[in-house]
Structure 1
Amino acid sequence: MAENRIVNTHQSEAWNGYEGRHWAEHQARYDALNDPANAPLLDAARIRDTDRVLDIGCGNGRLTRLAARTAAHVVGVDLSEPMLERARASAAAEHLGNVTHLRADAQVHPFDEASFDVAVSRFGVMFFADPVAAFTNIRRALRPGGRIAFVCPQSVLRMEQAVIFAAVAEHVTLPDLSAPAETGPAAFADPARAERVLTDAGFDDVTVEPVEVPQGWGPDAADAATFLFGWGPMCHWLRDAAPDAVDRAREAATEAFRAYETDDGVRLMARHWLVTAVRPGGPAPAPGA
């Protein structure tokens, strides 16, 4: 599979700039946030030892490596070279020989027709410039009867982290995080949109189910706030804010995080959607499959 052109240039710039470097440099931190979604996602994907798997927006490759422990082969695709470097190094450290990482835009990459049995994604499908075109391309890469499973966030207002953002917003201006978005973390906050996009892309049997999981934000409130204020979107939102206002916002975030401190660190509840669908044309699934 040769690499192809990148059409999602805005996201490519972000994920090969500060945002991608931050995720790569804080691999363990982001995995602590997102790992709780792994089990329900992999259960829904039903990966078998003969399956070829495509991991969309694989990032640092955590889900790729977990899938590879069952699958015949896994291809992790992402726009971010800094994160792919981390993914390759982690796969090598875990001695996984059935993993390939590819820098490509999944929206337009010329995957071989019907070359995968399963497509998965952990928070990697919300950033497409044209979601219907992207999922159409992914459907084409799946064999008839092949399946897709991914997790994406619900509205930030349904997350416990909304409390933290509200505390920050008392001191600095944040964007309207409840506003519908065509692309970005909230792109599929409306489950009806996820169902509509996949249906328009030619998938059948679309299901969207809620998943509620804890996220680990750090060992204590101060550390969690420091991590939050180094996160790419927060840095972008506060780029023009007065330094003293940013300091007050960080202090407010620290105090808000204290309510979520536990013996196991700072834990906030996240609410996501677990989405599954099937490429039409395959044999009927066996009972209980």
Structure 2
Amino acid sequence: MTNPLIKTEFPLSAKYDPDWMLDNQMGPNAVWLMEWLAEGLALRPGLRVLDLGCGRAMTSIFMAREFGVQVWAADLWISPDFNRVRADAAGVGALVYPLRAEAHALPFPESFFDVIVSVDAYQYFGTDVLYLGYLTRFLKPGGQIGMVVPGLTQGFSEVPEHLAQPQSNGKVFWEDECWSFKTSDWWREHWSLNRGVTDLLVDTLPDGWLHWHDFERAVEASGKALFPSDAEALAVDRGAYIGFVRAVARRTDWMAENLYSPDVGVRCGVDG
């Protein structure tokens, strides 16, 4: 019987122990999503990468093992000590630097990172129109920023019935925090407003709903679920509304030259 966590769409992820993915999951399979995101990034040995909202550091470990990058694995809720143990066990303790950090108070020098990534976390803080400008301050000019988030394949003003009604397990898919789910068009416009980034790519994961559904079923069957499964709602939706959005861009010199000074802060075109 084929293991549902081994997918041809994610050949690098297929090398990883399915039980390791299940033991460390905190939502949709972050290793699959990181592999998809990495396709749009120029990762190579020696680069400094910030993994923002890394959870249990699966994405950090994946990047260190597959690309030889140095990863600062930042999360607010998961202990750095626990992530250190996981990185050491995976053989990349010398490349992964776990720390506790809040997304609006990052403890790094400006222009420190070559790449900044966020998987299944950016929607919680990145819908703020000011946030991308803040985050890219920590990115070198020319460096890349990329994120993957749960999103919408089409927008709506009223929640579709199958997402608002309880599933057979009693779980309702659509909770208030789901209003942070946006379409690819929304993210494209949102990031396009920032002159500090260029070379913008925004798209959706083919069959994203199916990958999410399959992972939900695998977690449910393993008995390792942290929350009741959303697989039933995803099976009804079949990608009509729910999927994953990827955004990748490159930092320009515009912010450093025109917008920000450590002495005066953000000018926003207003003198005085």
TM class, shorter-length = 0.5 to 0.7
State the alpha-carbon separation in 2 of the partners of residues 58 and 173 from structure 1: 26
Partner of 2:17: none
**2:246 matched to 1:277?**
no
**2:189 matched to 1:217?**
no
**For residues 135 and 173 of structure 1, do their structure 2 counterparts lie closer, same or farther at Cα, with a shift above 3 Å needed?**
same
SS of aligned partner of 1:45: coil
**For residues 113 and 192 of structure 1, do their structure 2 counterparts lie closer, same or farther at Cα, with a shift above 3 Å needed?**
same
Residues 107 and 130 in structure 1, CA contact (< 8 A), matched pair in contact too = no
Partner of 1:196: 189
State the alpha-carbon separation in 2 of the partners of residues 116 and 173 from structure 1: 40
Counterpart code for 1:104: A
Instruction: Give the TM-score normalised by structure 2.
Output: 0.65
Residues 206 and 278 in structure 1, CA contact (< 8 A), matched pair in contact too = yes
Q: Deviations over 1:36-67 (max 9, x none)?
A: 22321111122111311111111100111111
State the alpha-carbon separation in 2 of the partners of residues 57 and 198 from structure 1: 19
1:142 offset after TM fit, Å?
Answer: 0.6
How many equivalent pairs are there?
219
State the alpha-carbon separation in 2 of the partners of residues 98 and 134 from structure 1: 27
**For residues 153 and 194 of structure 1, do their structure 2 counterparts lie closer, same or farther at Cα, with a shift above 3 Å needed?**
same
SS of aligned partner of 1:46: coil
Partner of 2:89: 93
1:144 offset after TM fit, Å?
Answer: 0.4
**2:125 matched to 1:153?**
no
Between 1 and 2, higher relative CO (CA 8 Å, sep ≥ 6) is seen in 1
Instruction: Give the TM-score normalised by structure 1.
Output: 0.62
Partner of 1:53: 49
Structure 1, unpaired ranges of 5+: 1-25, 235-249, 261-267, 283-289
**Structure-to-structure mapping, 1:240-255, within 5 angstroms:** none
Q: Deviations over 1:145-177 (max 9, x none)?
A: 11111111123889xxx9975662589695855
Partner of 1:112: 109
Counterpart code for 2:139: L
Partner of 2:124: 127
**For residues 196 and 105 of structure 1, do their structure 2 counterparts lie closer, same or farther at Cα, with a shift above 3 Å needed?**
farther
State the alpha-carbon separation in 2 of the partners of residues 79 and 148 from structure 1: 20
Aligned partner (choices 35, 40, 43) of residue 44 of structure 1: 40
**For residues 105 and 197 of structure 1, do their structure 2 counterparts lie closer, same or farther at Cα, with a shift above 3 Å needed?**
farther
State the alpha-carbon separation in 1 of the partners of residues 154 and 169 from structure 2: 19
SS of aligned partner of 2:190: helix
Counterpart code for 1:143: K
1:78 offset after TM fit, Å?
Answer: 1.1
SS of aligned partner of 2:37: helix
Identity over aligned residues, as a percent?
Answer: 22
More helix by share: 1
State the alpha-carbon separation in 2 of the partners of residues 29 and 210 from structure 1: 22
